[in-house]
Amino acid sequence: MKALDLYLQRRRIAQARRYIPQGARVLDVGCGDGTLFTQLAGHVAGGIGVDPTLTDDVETPCFKLLRGRFPDVVPRGERFDAITMLAVLEHIPEAEHTALVQGCLDLLKDGGRVLITVPHQFVDKILELLMALRLIDGMAVEEHHGFEPENTPKIFGRGDLQLLAHRRFQLGLNNLFAFERRSA
């Protein structure tokens, strides 16, 4: 990843951090190299990252990174205080959204949070320009499926998940959605 890719990644994590309780166990969907866990060391108690692009599983004293798709590779019986999907939802086809939400509900503790960042659709054009200028690697932009951020509450804000916050950041070009699981 190039410096600008890393900067944008760190900004997404910083936005999500304010909604992750101190000492939380986190499931990071689309974890890449586990940057969320290293950036939030001392704030989170650890957790699991899942990413189909990993070449191998990784285990550290604080977190595990598992190669594969969410929720299939998450060990049974695991429960989390927070599930993050930072720059992930726009890569998931609409046909998989229901299973995605159910996976979150199955793994989230009561009162736990789902934290999602998604870019504005206009960002794809900016990313294409930045890739042409070789300023970013623009990870899997071709997979964005034309996702519209305003659909996020329609997908996740049903049933047991309630919208806690929606914030725009990076000049309004990125969105953070925080959902909280209602206690039973």
- Residue 115, pLDDT score: 98
Instruction: pLDDT band for 110, please (50, 70, 90 cuts).
Output: very high
pLDDT tens for 117-159 read: 998 765 555 556 556 666 555 555 555 456 788 899 999 987 7
**Displacement of CA 159 from its chain's centroid (Å):** 20
Q: Which two tokens mark 6?
A: 């890393």
pLDDT tens for 51-99 read: 999 999 999 999 999 999 999 999 999 999 999 999 899 888 889 999 9
Q: Is 114's pLDDT higher than 90?
A: yes
CB count in 10 Å sphere of residue 24: 19
- Residue entry with tokens 């939030």: 40
Distance CA 158, CA 73 (A): 25
Nearest to 12 by CA among 179, 181, 136, 167: 167
Q: Which residue has the higher pLDDT, 64 or 3?
A: 64
- Residue 56: give its domain's CATH number: 3.40.50.150
- Residue 104, pLDDT score: 96
Report the C-alpha dihedral over residues 180, 42, 15, 18, rounded to 10 degrees.
50
Peptide bond preceding 149 in cis form (omega within 30 of 0) = no
pLDDT tens for 19-56 read: 999 999 999 999 999 999 999 999 999 999 999 999 99
The total domain count for the chain is: 1
Q: What global pTM score does this model have?
A: 0.88
Q: Reading across the β-sheet that carries 80-86, which strands appear in turn?
A: 58-59, 63-67, 44-51, 24-29, 80-86, 108-119, 174-181, 161-169
- Residue 133, pLDDT score: 63
- Residue 26, pLDDT score: 98
Please, are residues 70 and 50 in contact by the beta-carbon 8 Å criterion? yes
CB count in 10 Å sphere of residue 177: 24
**Full residue range of the structural domain in which residue 13 is found:** 3-181
Average pLDDT, the chain: 87
